[in-house]
Structure 1
């Protein structure tokens, strides 16, 4: 792992927990601080399946990217991409097709710093330092303009990110603005935490995260399905993450996060 000075910007508040770094710890990464690990452990106290939920989400991302490449997609815009750990989008996509281009978007300084370190020698992937709720800034960023040809199909990845966007920030409208700026043949992959099946445990997760930089806002199946308005869900539709294109030998049945991929015709 790089020296901490390489991935810890001088201005970062290491006493304020970050969702990106908490998720990094849950996935077995090493780019997190004691305060992040403390919150992660609180999450696991109230939601013992937290590790499985995180990993089922990561597995969905892997399957979704491979599916999208199989559909001819070679451009990806990954919102709220977090800290790079094993199985990053550019690794999965470029393994399937070396021509794939990936733009990551995050506002966590550690996520951005480490992404830049990791992508320094990859001319087909870059990171944009931006709030995902500012689509204009994302599309105007030099990295986006350099790597993505918006006259060709692009896959928008919104994996485990909109449950960090409060209702007053209009997550459905934000997503719709991104979709409106992308060409025909676009795809959207989305996953979102829910309290539908485990309301008590997931309420505890919300409480554990409330004093972090990134409080959480879980939504119901109907609310998440509504975010796909105007898009055509590909089979099997919006389902529990492990059920989306389940692969042979995969017996994971973990609940707690819905996932789906949709196309705009």
Structure 2
């Protein structure tokens, strides 16, 4: 899957550190150049006046400091990119490229904090693939992994880019954070996604299957704990399963707690 999520933005201080290191290298190179200039003068004679000496020093400094500084900055950039890659790996599911459970919880709790300053509605959705074990048993786990990746792609395409958050909760279960929506709007979003999943042919290595998904929706409200809303969404998911699967169930808004 090509959609990779990052838990954190790139470190805004990385460029500052690179420039600081570059400056340090320049100073070190300048000192080294002066030493070389003195040694050069001891062998070949001191320039006739101070301006010639300074010009010689500047030329040596440029020859030494330029390449050293460029190499140092490039190395620092690579180090920062490496750390950013590690952060991304720590926050994404390796199979689907979606947010993993840890990353999703962090982002959801950040959204709860923002809700203290705004009045926009937020809903938590949990959904999973119906009878997924049958898919694995019939076609193998590699085939099942392809199904999971396809469902992740379908779900990602159906959501509103950076405004909604999609994660893999574990196994065949996924979780969505819908922002700026009420329960009715969240229900509509999930119904469209449910229909899209159910109507999509998934073909791998000449084998075609169709799967369905069941959805549970619960609101996030000011003062409510994330775990409380997730548990409520799970209860709705189980109710959707009990009602025959391939359904969307939602609950009324939760009462805020102190």
| Structure holding more helix per residue | 2
Tell me if both proteins adopt one fold, taking TM over 0.5 as the criterion. Answer: no
Pick the TM interval, shorter chain: under 0.3
* TM-score where L is the length of structure 1: 0.27
